[in-house]
């Protein structure tokens, strides 16, 4: 490290390596633990990769893509990627273990349902909040976890602005409002405090919010994921068994393109897909009652047919949905007779019916 040129750091190399995906998968080689270490000497960078396979073609492809990515960093002259096959792993090393080996069910929680989206701005948190509250209204003991570490919004949407309490045995008591137990990193931060964390810290925070919260007995835990297919999503599927995931999109092609990526991620980690919710599907004029499809028609339906999963519902574009979120009064409670609220309740009823098909984790197997 003493001969390292100014401006070249391990963190910079790690950031670049997060753009390198494991061949055939959507997760990167840093988050998945393939990168075992590195050494920087002058303008030379050595990266050690540990595989959980003996396939030579994967090793060769990873060596090439890793060296190309690091070589593009300003100040780097030469790169050597040392790729170790499964049989070359050191006994007991993290890279020689199944990344899902530490997965375990949350005590007392029957079902874990992730609400995800491929891109931001599609109303994922609004959908997660209203589904959770609707499930609670139907009689299910329901929890809501805000796993959007960089942009937690559940405290605002659920109308809670307090500091959490930690017991003597380091268990975090969830807040309860509108009949729902909830947890969020937002409760631990100031209102305007940014989260400037790298991947390992984000992954640790997700694990702590999941495992250290005293959820008690729950029929369903709804998890509001951040947009995309990054550290949080991978940490979740490696930490707890998912009953399934709900994908949220808007009708236009740009949002649907990212839904395909999200669906592929859950498929590759063997997490079942429950269905798709199409948000902001259409606008109903309050004066004449005319329905206008602001973005386009049928995108969610086409994608659900392509994936072989249900279209759970189409949520209309309604200013009241936004207003109730800002006020901490979820639509299904504060305006239960509106078309959007009725659709949320119908979606929750469908989810309840799907969950009732099995009693343990992951009873739904829609995508093979």
The domain ranges of the chain are 10-96, 112-355
What is the average pLDDT across 4-23? 80
- The pLDDT score that the predictor gives to residue 360 is 38
Q: Is the pLDDT of residue 180 over 70?
A: yes
Give the span between the Cα atoms of 147 and 154, in whole angstroms.
9
What is the average pLDDT across 19-31? 82
- The pLDDT score that the predictor gives to residue 150 is 86
Q: Which residue has the higher pLDDT, 297 or 97?
A: 297
Q: Is 123 assigned a ligand-binding role in the annotation?
A: yes
CB atoms within 10 A of CB 56: 10
Give the span between the Cα atoms of 42 and 1, in whole angstroms.
8
Q: Which residue has the higher pLDDT, 95 or 9?
A: 9
C-alpha distances (whole Å) from 287 to each of 152, 160, 295, 334 are 36, 35, 21, 22
Name which of 35, 44, 42 is nearest 17 in CA terms. Answer: 35
- The pLDDT score that the predictor gives to residue 2 is 44
Rg (CA), the chain: 22
What percent of the chain has pLDDT above 90? 42
Q: Is 124 assigned a ligand-binding role in the annotation?
A: yes
CATH ID of 112-355, from 3.20.20.70, 3.40.50.300, 1.10.275.10, 3.30.70.2190: 3.40.50.300
Q: Is the pLDDT of residue 367 over 60?
A: no
Hey, what are 56's tokens?
């030579």
**246 and 225 in contact (C-beta within 8 Å)?**
no
**DSSP output for 179-197:** TEEEEEGGGTS-TT-----
Give the span between the Cα atoms of 21 and 9, in whole angstroms.
21
Q: Is the pLDDT of residue 49 over 80?
A: yes
Q: Is 121 assigned a ligand-binding role in the annotation?
A: yes
The DSSP call for residue 216 is -
Hey, what are 359's tokens?
């009693």
Give the span between the Cα atoms of 185 and 194, in whole angstroms.
11
Give the span between the Cα atoms of 11 and 33, in whole angstroms.
15
- The pLDDT score that the predictor gives to residue 102 is 64
Residue 54: phi and psi, rounded to 5, are -105, 15
pTM to 2 decimal places: 0.71
H runs (alpha helix) in the chain: 10-17, 56-71, 124-137, 154-157, 199-211, 231-239, 253-268, 299-307, 319-326, 331-334, 339-355
Q: Is the pLDDT of residue 368 over 70?
A: no
Q: Is 122 assigned a ligand-binding role in the annotation?
A: yes
Q: Is the pLDDT of residue 73 over 90?
A: yes
| Banded pLDDT at 124 (limits 50, 70, 90) | very high
| Banded pLDDT at 120 (limits 50, 70, 90) | confident
- The pLDDT score that the predictor gives to residue 264 is 82
Q: Is the pLDDT of residue 9 over 70?
A: yes
Burial degree of 12 (CB within 10 A; 0-12, 13-18, 19+): middle
What is the CATH superfamily name and number for domain 10-96?
Fe-S cluster assembly (FSCA) (3.30.300.130)
Mean predicted lDDT score pLDDT of the chain? 84
């Amino acid at each position: 490290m003493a001969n390292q040129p100014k401006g070249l750091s391990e963190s910079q190399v790690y950031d670049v390596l997060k753009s390198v995906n494991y061949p055939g998968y959507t997760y990167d080689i840093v988050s998945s633990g393939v990168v075992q270490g590195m050494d920087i000497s002058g303008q030379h960078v050595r990266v050690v990769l540990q595989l959980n396979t003996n396939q030579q073609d994967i090793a060769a492809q990873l060596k090439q893509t890793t060296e190309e990515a690091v070589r593009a960093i300003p100040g780097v002259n030469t790169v050597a990627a040392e790729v170790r096959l499964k049989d070359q792993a050191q006994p007991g090393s993290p890279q020689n273990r199944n990344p899902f080996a530490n997965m375990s069910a949350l005590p007392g929680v029957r079902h874990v349902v992730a609400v995800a989206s491929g891109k931001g701005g599609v109303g994922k948190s609004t959908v997660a909040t209203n589904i959770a509250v609707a499930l609670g209204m139907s009689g299910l003991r329901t929890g809501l976890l805000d796993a959007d570490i960089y942009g937690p919004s559940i405290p605002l949407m659920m109308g809670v602005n307090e500091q959490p309490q930690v017991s003597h045995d380091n268990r975090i008591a969830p807040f309860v409002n509108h009949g729902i137990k909830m947890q969020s990193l937002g409760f631990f931060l100031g209102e305007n405090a940014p989260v400037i964390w790298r991947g390992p810290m984000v992954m640790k925070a997700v694990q702590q919010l999941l495992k250290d919260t005293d959820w008690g007995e729950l029929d369903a835990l709804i998890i509001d994921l951040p947009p995309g297919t990054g550290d949080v999503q991978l940490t979740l599927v490696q930490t707890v068994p998912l009953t399934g995931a709900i994908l949220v999109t808007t009708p236009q092609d740009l949002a649907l393109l990212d839904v395909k990526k999200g669906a592929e991620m859950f498929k590759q980690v063997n997490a079942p897909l429950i269905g798709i919710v199409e948000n902001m599907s259409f606008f109903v004029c309050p004066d004449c009652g005319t329905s206008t499809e602001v973005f386009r028609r049928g995108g969610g339906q086409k994608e659900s047919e392509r994936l072989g999963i249900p279209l759970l519902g189409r949520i209309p574009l309604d200013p009241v949905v936004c207003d109730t979120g800002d006020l901490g009064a979820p639509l299904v409670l504060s305006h239960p007779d509106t078309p959007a609220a009725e659709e949320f309740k119908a979606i929750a009823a469908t989810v309840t019916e799907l969950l009732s098909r099995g009693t343990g984790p992951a009873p739904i197997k829609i995508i093979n």
